[in-house]
Structure 1
Amino acid sequence: MAYWRLMAAVFIHLLPLAAMADQDAFVGVNIGTALSDMPNPTQVVALLKAQQIRHVRLYDADSAMLTALSGTGIRVTVSVPNNQLLAIGQSNATAANWVTRNILNHVPATNITAILVGSQVLTTIPNAAPVLVSAMKYIHAALIAARLDSHIKVSTAHSSSIILDSFPPSQAFFNRTWEPVMVPLLEFLQSTGSYLMLNVYPYYDYVQSQGAIPLDYALFRPLPPNKEAIDSNTLLHYTNVFDAVVDAAYFAMSYLNFTNIPVVVTESGWPSKGDSDEPDATLDNANTYNSNLIKHVLNNTGTPKHPGVAVSTFIYELYNEDSRSGAVSEKNWGLFDANGMPIYVLHLTGSGSMLANDTTNQTYCVAREGVDRKMLQAALDWACGPGKVDCSAMVQGAACYEPDTVAAHATYAFDAYYHRMAMAEGTCDFNGVATVTTTDPSHGRCIFPGSKGSNGTFINGTFLDPSSNSTSSSSSLPFITHDSVSIMRIFMVLLSSVVLL
């Protein structure tokens, strides 16, 4: 009889993880606002809808943003900013007022599903740590009063640095300095059916390892069995940093006797540009990491410790934030620029839908807005000359003559070259005056290369690449050489030098 009681207790204890195993994981995005030209909330929501992004995390509870999200069905995680934490953690009434103002005024029209009380509190504002759990309880009590506690979870986002000795994962534990906070915090998450929210950044783990972590291991690239990391205590095999960090969190919780709290990753990504001392912050690495991350999460593979248990993740982040201070990499974590143009073309073919439906090959190369006209003209001349683009469609009276502008003609020539080169990496740059888009620029009788004559049907398409893996598409095309792309780049640099003289 005692045996069956024990087994029943274990079964009930593991129910939250079992429930997570039955749910499909999601990939969402964080929406930072440190942009010098931040799109307005309506524009932000238009981009989310066009890319079919169904989960977002806000770093505050901005009323205009929540209003714009109303009626969309998009699942929204809002945040109590760190500078409001002390007041809320010391006053039940203040917490109730915050919930009334920021939650009750927007639900149910806006689908708010979680509240994060502070961000990385233990590592960034440790003086507020003593009131963190109180703040979470006060917010939750206000939700109970409004009968929203079953729909809106309460948690807080942690830096993964609160986990010490993280490899092998089975030896991981939370920084014992924070045990007086972590134990009641985990008790709260367990009792309310909430999640441990964790920021996971393999980029920083890789950089700080000073060569100890292979780049392929950080980027989810396939590893031969003899290169996989093995936890000597559990004999579990790890093929990427992300899974190892998530499992370290699970083991750290189990060290404190909590085994039924699921992990949700609130931030993860890779910068696409960096300073001279940040050589691995590149477009290709950012593309590879985020593409592989999305496929890994949406495949519901889970982690070696909890295979099949969803690890839902928010990508950091929607936009590049040019107003953010610090290194160049700090400004370049976004999937899009402020104009809603993709920073790079994700390799997602065959992985289901994320960001939008898979419309393979429906990407176009267009002239960037606001670039120098002389540079644009030089690029157009190169495309119609040495680039060997057939520009006859742009002569007077032809289908693509109108509008008779350098930008319109350059867009046609750029796209023709881009598709003639099979959309290989580096073939839509033209010395910085071109960019990839998913909006079909075809108009009237002017049908662009790569278009199916739909005149904009793919406006809400994705920025997907025809490649299904994380390597450059040029590597699988024997008739496209790196030399030809490099020669084009050199020629464009020479042209730009002539223009500037």
Structure 2
Amino acid sequence: MALVAIQLLLGVLLLLLLLAAIPTNVHSIGVCYGMLGDNLPQPSEVIKMYQSNGITAMRIYGPNKDVLEALRGTDIQVMVGVPNQDLRSFASDPSAAVSWVETNVLPYSDVSFRYIAVGNEVISNAEPTARADEPYVLPAMENVYAALSSVDLHRQIKVSTAVFQRVLGKSFPPSVTEFSSEAAAYMVPIVKFLADKGAPLLANVYTYFPYIYAKGQIDIGYALFKPESPVVVYDEQYQYHNLFDASVDAFYAALEKVGGGNVEVVVTESGWPSKGDDAATLDNAGTYVQNLVRHVGSNGTPRRPGKTIEAYIFAMFNENQKGKPEEETERNFGLFYPDQSPVYPINFN
């Protein structure tokens, strides 16, 4: 009996040691792979860059056969977008969503699909043409979900939509935030869908844009995660030492007000341009992105302490065909130049 007891004790100790070795706060950092450039590397080379830099997640804005082929057999998790121009057909014709899944998902059983983002920044978009597609977002999401469900992939691949901070009304302090009156008509049923399906809200969160639009009212250190920044924003029982956490928690506060308290927020874009205006410098861009990489491995946000932040940096490359001719910053969010040299040094480990 004594020998059996000792063996059981040793087994329990071994199990405890194994559990202790499992990281409890593994962070997830990805990079958006935009392709609005006529001088970018081939997808096979880009995948090698992700692997050599230790980047384990990728967002692409539409299914690209060359990219998906290059991702075969890798451990890179992928978020793939349904382009905005496809929303109407997906919403009105379930077979369009089925065909899309059959063409862009099923043939790639050795690709690690994580999310499907049905539309990007459609709700409350400043462009009237995009706003016209708002009614089609949720029906398109429902039909994509049904298409995945029909082949038993709905638990493995989560269906959502990507929104910008513009969907929020007053966003300071975070506790008072709610979806704007214009956005709420579409966001409330979308949030119910996400809550019912166990899917996250995909949110594009930038501190650069509030910083430049506030015209000197936001401390640069607070926007860049600088640990030496003296700014602390108090909001009820919460304390904010950086604008990123406050921005993410603004989404959580808005979700809670419409019955989405169980919906996670995945930050699907965040970055800082390295060229284009006084704030868009190499130093600021490198500081922001490196601090973001470090921060998502910390203890969540004040409203969600202890929860790993999943975030995607925008973007892999400077894209020379992005934005309007006068929007130089739009073309300079990249981590790398098209020749694969780094714009500034970043350590993803």
Identify whether the pair has TM-score above 0.5, normalized to the shorter chain: yes
CA contact (8 A) 1:253 1:259 kept: yes
> Can you give the 5+ residue segments of structure 1 that lack an aligned partner in the other structure?
1-20, 349-353, 358-501
Superposition map of 1:68-217 within 5 A: 68-106=70-108, 108-124=109-125, 125-217=130-222
Greater Rg by CA: 1
Q: CA deviation at 1:49?
A: 1.4
Structure 1 segments, 4+ long, off by >6 Å, are none
Superposition map of 1:282-431 within 5 A: 282-299=281-298, 301-326=299-324, 327-346=327-346, 348=347, 354=348
CA contact (8 A) 2:221 2:229 kept: no
Structure 2 counterpart of 1:306, which letter? R
Distance 1:174 1:55, change over 3 A: same
* Matching residue within 219, 225, 232 for 1:228: 232
Q: CA deviation at 1:110?
A: 1.1
Q: CA deviation at 1:259?
A: 0.7
Q: CA deviation at 1:36?
A: 2.1
Distance in 2, matches of 1:154 and 1:224, equals 38
Give the RMSD, CA atoms, in angstroms: 1.4
Residues 426-451 of structure 1: per-residue CA shift (max 9 Å, x gap)? xxxxxxxxxxxxxxxxxxxxxxxxxx
Distance in 2, matches of 1:25 and 1:67, equals 27
Distance in 2, matches of 1:330 and 1:168, equals 28
Structure 1 counterpart of 2:203, which letter? L
CA contact (8 A) 1:120 1:159 kept: yes
Distance in 1, matches of 2:117 and 2:227, equals 34
Question: What residue number does 2:17 align with?
Answer: none
Distance in 1, matches of 2:39 and 2:115, equals 28
Structure 1 counterpart of 2:290, which letter? S
Q: CA deviation at 1:96?
A: 0.7
TM-score normalised according to structure 2 size: 0.89
Q: CA deviation at 1:69?
A: 0.5
Q: CA deviation at 1:52?
A: 1.8
SS at 2:97 equivalent: helix
Q: CA deviation at 1:198?
A: 0.4
Distance in 2, matches of 1:180 and 1:281, equals 35
Distance in 1, matches of 2:84 and 2:136, equals 12
Distance in 1, matches of 2:143 and 2:60, equals 20
Structure 1 counterpart of 2:58, which letter? V
> Can you give the 5+ residue segments of structure 2 that lack an aligned partner in the other structure?
1-22
Structure 1 counterpart of 2:124, which letter? T
Q: CA deviation at 1:223?
A: 4.5
Residues 218-260 of structure 1: per-residue CA shift (max 9 Å, x gap)? 00012466x31111xx131111111001101111111112211
Q: CA deviation at 1:22?
A: 5.8
Structure 2 counterpart of 1:271, which letter? P
TM-score normalised according to structure 1 size: 0.63
Structure 1 counterpart of 2:282, which letter? L
Structure 1 counterpart of 2:211, which letter? Y
Question: What residue number does 1:242 align with?
Answer: 244
Q: CA deviation at 1:306?
A: 1.1
Distance in 2, matches of 1:121 and 1:66, equals 25
Question: What residue number does 2:20 align with?
Answer: none
| Relative contact order higher in (CA < 8 Å, ≥ 6 apart) | 2
